[in-house]
Structure 1
Amino acid sequence: MFVALLVGMLVTLAASALVVNASANYVHHAESARLNDSGRYALAIITQAVRQAAFVNWDASGVPPATVPETSANIGGLDAASVSRTANGIDEPLAGAVNGSDVLALRYAGSGAPDADGSVLNCAGFGVAAAGSEAQRGWSIFYVAVGGDGEPELRCKYKSAHGWGADAVVRGVDSFQVLYGIDTDTPADGIPNRYLNAGAVNTLDGDLVLEGATAAMRAQDLNRKTWWKRVVTVEVGLLLHGEAHSRPDGEPAQYDLLGAAYAASAAGNDQGVRISERLLPEGQRRRVRRVFETSIALRNAGGA
């Protein structure tokens, strides 16, 4: 009888181990599939927004306001920052970005008047009507913020007729990183010669010699000369994670966004391009993770 009980207990333990292992594998594969879908979806939304950046409706009568040289650039960004839902554009950036995540801001003139015709959409999928002035251009702003459940999420911020809004694109974001391909040739040939983060682009702008007797005139001259109007491609890196305990036991991993070579050279001064699980809180480890990257060429000139 004791032998039978012992054998039964061993069989039960073996079966339980198989069930636990099968359950862990199921969670791992389910979360991996979800991350693949989420990552592809996020990159598709960002790609669509970038390709629409600087859109101008040349069929409209008169000179489109977005083509005036004094108009601000149609693309911009921030390094290791976040933004609030209600602030104007990317003004008033917030510190404490999730793992040094970046902000990507895109603008376009829209199409259709007085109502949008649906050919130009913001990142939330709403149509943007033709802009009658520079300030009326549409916005698509991507940034990372922590949701109500404590999970960081990639959000899309946009401006509607009723004010600013922001919607979540995907949740479980460890880092969102952006590089900008700058055409430094004169005359410009549309081919990127340097890839810089937002801080480096702003540093180049800070070194420009501006002309003008007043601050307003110098601001207009900055809009004419800004390096943001030389952006021809955008590199995007996104690291997503799954639910807790969605990865089998193992050594903490390291993830490089925007390529291992860039992460190795810039990890010290571009926060968030290299994420090590060893440095994450205990509750954020042992999660399945995926890096998603893409390079997007602007279809329209970055500025006048």
Structure 2
Amino acid sequence: MSRRGAAAPTRARGFGVVELLVALALGALLALTASVVLLASSASYLNQVEAARLNDSARYALDIIGRAVRQTIFANGVGAGADAPAGARPADSASVGGLDARSVSRGSDGIEAPLAGAVNGSDVLSLRYFGAGSGSGGDGSVINCAGFGVGAADSEAERGWSIFYVATDAGGEAELRCKYRGESSWGADAIVRGVDTFQVLYGIDTDEPADGAVNQYVNASTIDALDAALALDGADAAAKERDKNARTRWKRVVSIQIALLLHGARGSGPRGGTAQFDLFGKAYADAYGGADAGVRIDEARLPPAQRGRARRVLVTTITLRNRPA
């Protein structure tokens, strides 16, 4: 049978080399674009998660410190002179103290053996308590930074302690710690990890007579210098020490200003450039940054592994509940 007039079959034709290369290039471009968008979204999510965690961590730490500060010189029915409770008599040492750009060890007595090489100039804040109730744990109305009750002290030396300082853990991560005295030994617990620096200023009343209002905020070294300039009265060293305790500017502290700079996980920071953090504001850092280490942190000067991280500064001012005597 004749097939004249039937359509000729078409030959199957595949992709040419040029077409295949173009398709591959377009596919790679789409995959690359999707990867960039995914990475950007992932970085943004990580930044937001770390920012929220840092805010929670900083507020938790500041809440603990705030509670400790408000309790430090508080005592119900504080009398005067010899009738005052242990630690509140004029010749007793101050209940507030501190160190600039130092750290302390877990087992040392109070802050008597400070350590050099503090993390980015971090400070030490020392608080003492009159306590309440009988026994070492008291009635639970006064607690130290670890949450243990502090009983009423029978002597000045028996007052409770809360000491805040920064130290590095076994992995090299800096953490804010709470140091306290237990029944038989000293202990210290971590409050928050990832600390760049911990800074403290003290609001002192310089008026004569004192009126309980803050006249200026200074660091611990400034208060120590003011005490060193006192012309002490007394026939011997013990008498001069009692006079110093009665006149120390540490007893003129009316409020305490706390600043914390925390960092998040690696790669959680915003892209591009480094930041500068002035913990008590630019004016204070410009004026005193050279003498008060740690109040200005330049991210570009940190070790490379510490850069490119989410960071948060939280600052709070806490007023002492009782006017210092």
Structure 1 length normalisation: TM-score?
0.96
Which of structures 1 and 2 has the bigger CA Rg?
2
- On the 8 A contact 1:57/1:109 being kept in 2, the answer is no
| SS of aligned partner of 2:67 | helix
CA displacement 1:114-165 (0-9 Å, x = unmatched): 2421111101111111111111111111111111121111111111113111
Task: Give me the whole-angstrom Cα distance separating, in 2, the residues matched to 1:131 and 1:57.
Answer: 13
| SS of aligned partner of 1:242 | strand
CA displacement 1:214-273 (0-9 Å, x = unmatched): 211111111011000000011111111111111132111100011221111101110100
Aligned residues: 302
Out of 64, 67, 70, the position equivalent to 2:88 is 67
Q: Is structure 2 residue 250 aligned with structure 1 residue 228? A: yes
Gaps of 5+ in 2: 1-19
Task: Give me the whole-angstrom Cα distance separating, in 1, the residues matched to 2:108 and 2:154.
Answer: 22
Tell me the residue number matched to 2:64: 45
Q: Is structure 2 residue 123 aligned with structure 1 residue 102? A: yes
Tell me the residue number matched to 1:112: 133
Amino acid at match of 1:83: V
Please say which of residues 11-20 and 144-153 is displaced more in the overlay. 11-20
Amino acid at match of 2:125: L
Task: Give me the whole-angstrom Cα distance separating, in 2, the residues matched to 1:48 and 1:104.
Answer: 13
Tell me the residue number matched to 2:228: 206
CA displacement 1:22-73 (0-9 Å, x = unmatched): 211111111111101011111111111110011224389x641122111100
| SS of aligned partner of 1:168 | strand
Higher RCO, Cα 8 Å, sep 6+: 1
Task: Give me the whole-angstrom Cα distance separating, in 2, the residues matched to 1:6 and 1:262.
Answer: 56
- On the 8 A contact 2:255/2:320 being kept in 1, the answer is yes
Tell me the residue number matched to 2:172: 150
| Distance apart, 1:107 and its partner CA | 0.6
Counterparts of 1:136-285 in structure 2 under 5 Å? 136-285=158-307
Report percent identity of matched pairs: 58
Out of 27, 30, 52, the position equivalent to 2:46 is 27
Gaps of 5+ in 1: none
Structure 2 length normalisation: TM-score?
0.90
Task: Give me the whole-angstrom Cα distance separating, in 2, the residues matched to 1:53 and 1:232.
Answer: 11
Task: Give me the whole-angstrom Cα distance separating, in 1, the residues matched to 2:87 and 2:99.
Answer: 22
- On the 8 A contact 2:126/2:163 being kept in 1, the answer is yes
| SS of aligned partner of 2:265 | coil
- On the 8 A contact 1:56/1:66 being kept in 2, the answer is no
CA displacement 1:66-98 (0-9 Å, x = unmatched): 221111001000000001111111111000001
Cα RMSD over matched residues? 1.4
Counterparts of 1:124-143 in structure 2 under 5 Å? 124-143=146-165
Amino acid at match of 1:24: A
- On the 8 A contact 2:195/2:263 being kept in 1, the answer is yes
Task: Give me the whole-angstrom Cα distance separating, in 2, the residues matched to 1:8 and 1:113.
Answer: 77
Amino acid at match of 2:219: N
| SS of aligned partner of 1:65 | coil
- On the 8 A contact 2:78/2:84 being kept in 1, the answer is no
- On the 8 A contact 1:57/1:64 being kept in 2, the answer is no
